[in-house]
Structure 1
Amino acid sequence: MSVPDKTMPDFCNRRFPFHFTTAMHILRKMGIDPTAIEILAVGKYENYRGEIREQKPAPNTQITLNTKIVLQVGYTSAIDLMPYQFFYGLAGITDRASDWENSARRLMAPFDAAFIRYLAAVSYENMKFNFNFIDDKHLSKYLELYDFTGIDISDPVTAARWQAIMPTFHIWAGNAEMTSKILGFLFGFKFHINESVPTRHKIPEDLQYTLGSKSKRLGYESVAGRSFIECDTGYEIIISGIKNENVSELLPGKQLRKKIEAVLDYCMPGNLDYKIRIKVDKEKTLLGDKTNKRYLGFNTFIRDKELY
């Protein structure tokens, strides 16, 4: 923030007024931490469009590390939702003054500012989605998260393709059909997600009912059985089109399996349990052949006919 060419923009221009979303992100692009910007919500009736009414410092002022930036925003404060008795008492007043109201706005400014910053960030992401803007840094971080390196996202076609599968830009996450297509695009296999599959859950031992027990009452504080099955909290992922040499990478704990699980945790509801089923292309196995590297019972089966 000590770079000489950093000067305060003019956010209060009468001919070209700035919305707080635009102002916040211009300052952010200049390298200014949004949390360091003080915001005072002066009420929607002062300027109902969310524009900047006043600013400090003045336009063209050099911004240094110690510069205090204050923006007055025409947006609703928590104070505007309170009854007038909060300021003037139950009896009211005859001579109206705004001292108490202004003091209350300054008191609530940190809380109002936190909400306005969040709203500005959400509005910015929404505009990127609506107008198909691509943030290269955000896209790079997303690809690095799943170890997709060496991809040239400077190419507009490549960047647009990868941007299209990101849940932060397109709301496909949580949709079983769309998630299956995205997984197939990412990993090259055929994916299918079955929803509402039967899932077995174990009943804790302290809730299990034991026949003849005097300490527990059936149906009140304990239940019969050791487990139960329901269909509301589970789904199943079926991966098919897998060659024998790729099976080992899909075993639990392997790198490819971890990538798939990471995408599922990121894109599917976190309160659901899932299980992964793998369908392997059937091929003949030569007994004693070490070069095939196949696992009997997992991706290999013994036929009831002649063995070679």
Structure 2
Amino acid sequence: MAQPNSEMKGIMPPERIITVKKESFLKHLVKNKWLYIFLIPGLLYFLVFKYVPMFGIVIAFKQLSIVKGIWGSDWVGLANFETLFSSSHFLRVLRNSILLSVYQIIFGFPAPIILALMLNEIRQIAFKRISQTILYLPHFISWVVLAGIVINFLSPTTGIANQIVTAFGHEPIKFLQEPEYFRSIIVSAEIWKSVGWGTIIYLAAMTGVDPTLYESAKIDGASRMQRIYYITIPGIATTIVILLLLNLGNILDNGFDQVFLLYNPVTYETGDIFETYTYRIGLQDGRMSYATAVGLFKSAVGFILIISSNYAARAISGKSIW
């Protein structure tokens, strides 16, 4: 008697499995073709502006010559990194970048969470929508305009801040020329600009919390603060952890616009960060190889931080990005 083949036994041969998978994928692709079409612009953005420029990393290990080009320039190995680490400006720039990011995380990261919790407790829909619209508006103001607002607000002659200072009998303060005030100004301006927009993510996360939990807690006599602490915050904990990890990964990425538009040589002591330092040595001084080494160092530190922060978050809270 002939032995039953694999199909008779109910076991599909490997060739048939591959064919079925291909057919299933094609059906899925045709069924969701518009979703993949809409995905193309995003993929092109990352390909053109994120992945293709990575080939320029080789500049950090060369002495770039405009005449010879990238590939024809002389190979210098780690010489640019040695120059960076031995530079008198390196520790200052590193300290300023870390401190500014730490201040942003300490004061700026909780701000949209607190604001979202407050907005979530508003029961008057009209007032809630008007409040959200007003809070979102600063996000759409460019840093050029916002820097002008800050400069006028802190002007030692016509600024509102100094008018209040002089009203109490004190001398006007040149806020933008005092290094000790610079970080506070940058962090405050960043919070004012982004806090309203940041609440969108947390408000969206709050919509996923089961309403029956609030009803049960209210029946059990839980106060509003208790419902926030024991239901709302745990319900958005995953979102908080993910955004915190992303912030930690960008701890050396403070943003170029806000600092460049408000700092000056007087405030280099506390305001000079990697972005502005790279701009000066790369574009103004023409030291492109050295500037690329600075940027590569910053990216490497950010990569290490986001990996380590992810593992730490997973060990502590059980929540992580991957």
Structure (1 or 2) with the greater strand fraction: 1
TM class, shorter-chain normalised? under 0.3
Higher relative contact order (CA 8 A, sep 6+): 2
Structure (1 or 2) with the greater helix fraction: 2
Q: Which has the larger radius of gyration?
A: 1
- What TM-score do the two structures reach when normalised by structure 1? 0.22
